[in-house]
A and B are shown apart, each in its own frame.
Chain A
Amino acid sequence: MTDYLWKNLFKRTPPEKALHAILRENILFEDLTSKQLRFVSNIVHLRKYSSNETIFRQGEIGVGMYIIVSGSVTISAQQANRGADKEAGKTIITRLGSGDFFGELALVEENGRRSATAEAAETTELIGFFKPDLLEILERNPLAGVKITLRLGEVLGRRLRETTERVSVLEEQLKRNRAE
């Protein structure tokens, strides 16, 4: 139902490439020059996850976002009113593949909680880009930092517009249902 939230609007071709090339293809880093990309490549973190390994859990404090280099990731959410039976309340929201990214809201939130659980669906390689990394870029290379932050604003803005549109549709649907 909430697929729109996680659907990657900015997905490009997903071949398995070097860190530098993967970053260049991501919307957040697409305005950076080669020199700035090299600088960012030295700051971000490459992490490997085995199949079914949890990347982060719903409710945890989020520190940053992940870009999928290879493999795939399942995003699921636990519904609040399902009691102790966690598996029963679990809803698979979407499955993301190479080139997709998720968790970017944590880059701007202060101690914000993860709104869903991310789990590696197979052996997966991710680029981790976290709030301390963004702050370090802003401190050491403000021009690159501003370019990334503007793009991040754009991504979050699009997510918000999508959510607003979806809420409007649901409200209309609710009104119609009540009228009937």
Chain B
Amino acid sequence: MDTVGMYNRERIIKSAAVGGIIVLCALIILKVDNILLSFILAFVISYLLAPVVNAAERTGISRKVAVAGLFLFLTALFATGIYLLLPVVTAQVSALRSELPHFIDGVSKLLITAETRINAILSGVYQLDVSATANRVLSGLSGQMFEDLPRYTSSSLAVLILAPFFAFFMVLDGQAAAKKILELVPNNLFEPALNLKHRMNAQLGGYIRARLLEAGIVCLVVWLGLAVIGFPYAVLLGTFAGLTNLIPYIGPIIGAVPAILMTLVTGASGLTVLAVVAVYTVAQLIDNFVIIPLVVARIVDLHPVVVVIVIIVGAQLAGIIGMIISIPVACILKLTAMAIYEHLVEFGN
């Protein structure tokens, strides 16, 4: 075989190997239980910890020692956190379980009242009838939620063990693994691929760290704010607000719904309702006027309309997880499209 033929054959084999590895990894991640979530969480953890490990490495500590030390420290911190918070969380979950039927009953009554008033205003033009269906769905959902709790707990435990395990190796050997994969990229695509990988890493790392900072601050402000005004379930509601804050635009609203509903259902005083609204508003003000302009906006350069479309598509394809990961996925696709354009289209001209 001549040199050109051998070269083309090698290039085809390399391209097929890269494609094969990507397809195989995608199949394993999508088909095996808990692997997708564990991988997403591991990526998040690795992006979060990489700067800390790099900082330790800069002082002269070897990467292995830095990674092992950091993971040991975090395990101890996590264990202490669980030890301190578990009794509080367990007590709040038990209390919520016993009080949930009461809340659902309250929500149903609220819905019926609202429905009656709206139907009176519409006066026969249109007959609204959603309270019965909503009541049925809410009752079913609440029962199912606690029935499924053991399954969710075991699944979460698997993810909580697998994700740090994957993250450990991602932080330790991630660069070496990426280098090995890049070795398989054909020569003519090597520079664009390396450049794309670098840009993706920088943007994803910045985005993930910024969003987690946002979620953490919202969680803390809501938790402390509700605790200060003496509102029940402060830990659970703060955690929920922090997690839902990861969903752009609609997340903060979803995060505030349980607390607002609770104030309405329990017939809390107007002052309490105002205080709860104030807590969520302060959290969002800090997020929108301090963290987003200073941190997030500099990282993701996507038009608001594109962001909304991307979130809707994410929700359609993969529910809540899809909504959370839709923005970083869109960033990756945008960078890839730009790299292809720069390499093939612009240069081709």
Tell me the smallest distance from the CB of A24 to a CB of chain B, in Å: 21
Q: Does B190 contact A (CB under 8 A)?
A: yes
Contacts of B57 in A (CB 8 A): 140-141
Check if B197 sits within 8 Å of A130, measured CB to CB. no
Tell me the smallest distance from the CB of A86 to a CB of chain B, in Å: 14
Check if A51 sits within 8 Å of B187, measured CB to CB. no
Check if B187 sits within 8 Å of A64, measured CB to CB. no
- Complex interface: stretch among B23-31, B130-138, B176-184, B230-238: B176-184
Q: How far is the CA of A63 from the CA of B195 in the complex (A)?
A: 7
Q: Does A54 contact B (CB under 8 A)?
A: yes
Check if B6 sits within 8 Å of A45, measured CB to CB. no
Tell me the smallest distance from the CB of A3 to a CB of chain B, in Å: 25
Check if B175 sits within 8 Å of A50, measured CB to CB. no
Q: Mark A57-70, 1 if CB is under 8 A from B, else 0.
A: 10111111000000
Check if A51 sits within 8 Å of B194, measured CB to CB. no
Give how many A residues have a beta carbon under 8 Å from the other chain's beta carbons. Answer: 30
Check if B54 sits within 8 Å of A56, measured CB to CB. no
Q: How far is the CA of A120 from the CA of B3 in the complex (A)?
A: 13
Closest B-chain residue to A62, C-beta based?
B191
Q: How far is the CA of A143 from the CA of B177 in the complex (A)?
A: 25
Q: Does B343 contact A (CB under 8 A)?
A: yes
Known: A45-B183, A136-B175. A54 touches B195 (CB 8 A): no
Contacts of A132 in B (CB 8 A): 194-195, 197-198
Q: Does A47 contact B (CB under 8 A)?
A: yes
Q: How far is the CA of A47 from the CA of B185 in the complex (A)?
A: 10
Give A123-157 interface residues, CB cut-off 8 Å to B: 128, 130-132, 135-136, 139-142
Check if A142 sits within 8 Å of B58, measured CB to CB. yes
Check if B187 sits within 8 Å of A55, measured CB to CB. yes
Q: Does B188 contact A (CB under 8 A)?
A: yes
Q: How far is the CA of A79 from the CA of B58 in the complex (A)?
A: 46
Check if B347 sits within 8 Å of A47, measured CB to CB. no
Check if A135 sits within 8 Å of B347, measured CB to CB. no
Q: How far is the CA of A49 from the CA of B11 in the complex (A)?
A: 11
Check if A141 sits within 8 Å of B58, measured CB to CB. yes
Check if B176 sits within 8 Å of A49, measured CB to CB. no
Closest B-chain residue to A122, C-beta based?
B3
Give B45-65 interface residues, CB cut-off 8 Å to A: 54, 57-58, 63
Check if A140 sits within 8 Å of B187, measured CB to CB. no
Q: Does A53 contact B (CB under 8 A)?
A: yes
B343 touches which of A61, A139, A141 (Cβ 8 Å): A61
Give B164-208 interface residues, CB cut-off 8 Å to A: 175-176, 179, 182-183, 187-188, 190-192, 194-195, 197-198
Closest B-chain residue to A123, C-beta based?
B3
Q: How far is the CA of A64 from the CA of B194 in the complex (A)?
A: 10
B187 touches which of A53, A59, A139 (Cβ 8 Å): A53
Give B299-349 interface residues, CB cut-off 8 Å to A: 342-343, 347
Contacts of A50 in B (CB 8 A): 3-4, 6-7, 10
Closest B-chain residue to A138, C-beta based?
B58
27 examples of A-B residue contacts, CB within 8 angstroms: A45-B194, A47-B190, A50-B4, A50-B6, A50-B10, A51-B3, A52-B3, A52-B4, A53-B7, A56-B191, A57-B347, A60-B191, A60-B343, A61-B191, A61-B343, A63-B191, A63-B192, A63-B195, A64-B191, A111-B342, A130-B191, A130-B195, A131-B198, A132-B197, A132-B198, A140-B54, A141-B58
Q: A residues touching B (Cβ–Cβ < 8 Å)?
A: 42-43, 45, 47, 49-57, 59-64, 111, 128, 130-132, 135-136, 139-142
The 4 nearest A-B residue pairs measured at CB:
A132-B198, A50-B7, A63-B191, A63-B195
Q: B residues touching A (Cβ–Cβ < 8 Å)?
A: 3-4, 6-7, 10, 54, 57-58, 63, 175-176, 179, 182-183, 187-188, 190-192, 194-195, 197-198, 342-343, 347
